[in-house]
Amino acid sequence: MSDFDIAAYIGDVPDFPKPGVTFKDITPLLSDPEAFGRAVDALVASAPEDIDVVCGMEARGFIVGAPVALALGARFVPVRKSGKLPRDTVETTYDLEYGTQTLAVHTDAISQGDRVLIVDDVLATGGTVAATADLIHRLGGSLVAVSVLMELAFLEPRDLLLRRDIDQVTALVSYEE
């Protein structure tokens, strides 16, 4: 895996979604089956043992998390925006740069003592991961690790996660700027 450069498959889109922001586009990675497979393999290899549940957040976390769960023989749990899940849910609201967001998960998706891995495409500010960790804990699960394709380290997301006692974080690529 050491010869696999995931960054070569992540495109930069300047001034998206607003001026001054450079969006990290994973669609080149997704469009290359071999590269996507290698990225999934790397996420699987970084996972702790005995994972019961993989949580992926809407929407790219579904794309990345589901194949990781399948490879680990774990259940996949989608974490969605409020109002998108059909059964009873538990929700949490967190702050965004401009406003708030509410995430939800089915109340029966995670059981007491389940060992949970969060998988997503990007770790930016850490807010979505921290909110998902809150949902996991409220349902009795144990968050054991977070694995992402990329981390925007210049936004210092690990500071927030460390304040929430989330210290097992793996990023396949880290961007300093």
Q: Which residues are catalytic?
A: 60, 97
The partner residues of 169 in beta bridges, in order of sequence, read 146
For 4-98, list the strands marked E by DSSP. 11-14, 22-25, 53-57, 75-81, 89-96
Q: Give me the phi and psi of 149, to 5 degrees please.
A: -65, -45
How many degrees, rounded to 5, is the angle at CA 145 between CA 139 and CA 147?
120
Return the closest-CA partner of residue 116 out of 162, 65, 174, 81.
Answer: 65
Looking up tokens 């997704």, which residue turns up?
Answer: 30
Q: Is 22 in contact with 13 (CB distance < 8 Å)?
A: yes
